[in-house]
Amino acid sequence: MKKLICAVLSMAFMLTGCLSSNKERAIRFDIKHFPNSLDAQMTMEKESIPILLNTMSGLTKIDETGTAVLDLAKSCQVKNGGREYVFILKDNLKWQDGTPLTSRDFRFALRRVLSPKTHSPYAERYLNIVNAGKVLSGQLSEESLGVTSPDDKTLIIHLNEPDFSFPSLMAQSPALPCNEEFFNSCKGKYGLSPENLLCNGPFYLHSINENLMLLKKNTNSLESAKTEKLYFCTERGNPLDIFLEKRSEACIAPFDEYEKIKDLPKQEIYNRTFAVVINPESEIGKNFTYRKALLGSLFKEDFSGEGKNTEKAQGIVPPSTLFENINYRQNAQAALPSKKLVPAELKQEIQDQISNESKGKLPKTEIYTDNSDINFSIASKIQNIYSTDLSLYINIVPQNPSDFSKKISSKDFEIAICEIKSVQDKPLFYLAPFGDIDVEIDGEFVKIKDILQQSESESNPEKKIELLKKAEQALIDNYYLLPLYHAPTYILSSDNLKDVLYLPSKQAFFFGNAVLNEK
């Protein structure tokens, strides 16, 4: 894989930075590989998240409770019934080189996302901004986008419709600021090297070589890091093994490596739900009979046994998720299939449907999955169920994480076994990605987002939970997805590292406030 273009560091720097004992008083953290780019408006690589989280700051951020709170904005006014957001920036904001950071930097970032020249994979998320669709299609100029900056400290964003998730949307990487003058000076190389990246977070990207990335304290940041240096290391082996060897200060351990850490102090968060998802825009997804047969035939199965320390799913929202500081899953109870289905009846229904189709066969259907052992094993089990119970043979397509992520985000699939992603660790945001789906409830069709919007408008917490549970149940009963299992994430840090923050929604550490004490 092509690496970020970088300046080569000396061998001595490499040894003291990552490969030897930690004599530099620097924080060290391992990732699988360095991202190809750190262009926040473009990169979708998972490995870019911890780096951008520590080098860039936005108008809002997601805190440790999963809530969107103000960051570089000192205030936010919501006007026009939720269709207008007015952000006022804090005083004395600067980039790493001392250049003033202004509202125009946020305006330019959003224009880049929605420019047809950029081809940003995030553009669809921001189409609720006034004129976004016409700007993206080239019908209107970028200046027509409903984002204005009347002065250096004010950013005004106009929306077509009220959006309860908008503050969290502004905490995502595409909404991070981008200095237009600096961007143009990079001549197409923005985000590809330290000299072509301008940071405003607690750290800035100082240098990288093939296996080592150095972030240094950004003294021009409003809240600069409390530690002078942060190393991201790669290609050193298993990050958990490296942590156990005391060659790194923090680690996120997957649930299938529990045996190695069962006796260590750790934080355990059941914040991941994996499900079989049917793409509602596919030919399969538009047909109720197909959806019912393909997911209804799996209802009786327990797939949690395929992975160590996984739990059988009790709904779309995972067990560790809080709702107003109380556990949502315990209060909402299980959101599970409410109907008992007979495989033989499902087989007959789908065969009748197929015989009525002009082609006389099931539309193209494949099961996409990442290449993890557990999900491939589950896909194989599902493939066998379809063959045995429905007389259908459906091909399995395993993919590497990057390609799989692109498949899911572009909705280029029929059926997939994937993690339900959330921009915040809140019940609402686990359901929000399915907002545009029409579901039938008591003989009437309603969009999921309308139920969620109703929940947001409700003042009674118990009724809020009832509405969220209603949306969960509707997605399952209308056979758009079937939750399979909940999986934990294990969070470990060394005894001498204090005040490191793990953000579940980003599955990454924030090291800006971390302090490395003497051992």
What value does the mean pLDDT of the chain take? 90
- pLDDT one-digit tens code per residue, 121-144: 999 889 999 999 999 999 999 999
Distance, CA of 200 to CA of 93 (rounded, Å): 8
Q: Which of 99-108, 202-211, 231-240, 496-505 has the highest mean pLDDT?
A: 99-108
Distance, CA of 411 to CA of 403 (rounded, Å): 12
Q: Nearest CA to 176 among 72, 98, 76?
A: 72
The model carries a pTM of 0.76
In degrees, rounded to 5, the angle at the alpha carbon of residue 63 between the alpha carbons of residues 327 and 49 is 110
Distance, CA of 457 to CA of 85 (rounded, Å): 18
User: Could you tell me which residues come within 8 angstroms of residue 81 by beta carbon, excluding any fewer than 6 positions away?
Assistant: 162
CB atoms within 10 A of CB 402: 17
Distance, CA of 516 to CA of 519 (rounded, Å): 9
**Could you tell me if 259 and 325 are in contact, meaning their C-beta atoms sit under 8 angstroms apart?**
no
**Could you tell me if 167 and 77 are in contact, meaning their C-beta atoms sit under 8 angstroms apart?**
no
Q: Where are the alpha helices (DSSP H) in 100-219?
A: 103-114, 132-136, 166-169, 180-185
Distance, CA of 48 to CA of 322 (rounded, Å): 27
User: Could you tell me which residues come within 8 angstroms of residue 156 by beta carbon, excluding any fewer than 6 positions away?
Assistant: 84, 85, 86, 87, 147, 148, 149, 150
Question: What's the pLDDT at 176?
Answer: 98
Q: Nearest CA to 74 among 64, 57, 54, 60?
A: 60
Question: What's the pLDDT at 9?
Answer: 33
Question: What's the pLDDT at 167?
Answer: 92
- pLDDT one-digit tens code per residue, 317-368: 999 888 877 789 988 988 888 777 888 999 999 999 988 876 678 888 999 9
pLDDT surpassing 70 at residue 297: yes
Alpha carbon of residue 425 to chain centroid: 10
**Could you tell me if 300 and 250 are in contact, meaning their C-beta atoms sit under 8 angstroms apart?**
no
Q: Which is more confidently placed, 457 or 181?
A: 181
Here the contacts of 197-201 (C-beta below 8 Å, separation 24 or greater) are 197/38, 197/55, 198/95, 198/96, 198/97, 198/99, 199/55, 199/56, 199/95, 199/96, 200/56, 200/57, 200/72, 200/93, 200/94, 200/95, 200/96, 200/101, 201/53, 201/54, 201/55, 201/56, 201/57, 201/512
Question: What's the pLDDT at 519?
Answer: 60
Instruction: Please report which confidence band the pLDDT of residue 429 belongs to, taking 50, 70 and 90 as the band edges.
Output: confident
- pLDDT one-digit tens code per residue, 436-460: 999 999 999 999 999 999 998 888 8
Question: What's the pLDDT at 18?
Answer: 52
- pLDDT one-digit tens code per residue, 393-419: 999 999 998 899 889 988 999 999 999
The phi and psi torsions of 159 (rounded to 5 degrees) equal: -110, 155
Report which DSSP code applies to 433. G
Question: What's the pLDDT at 345?
Answer: 92
Tokens for 152, please give them.
């250096």
Tokens for 112, please give them.
């880049």
What is the arithmetic mean of pLDDT over 195-202? 97
pLDDT surpassing 90 at residue 24: no
Q: Nearest CA to 235 among 32, 95, 472?
A: 32
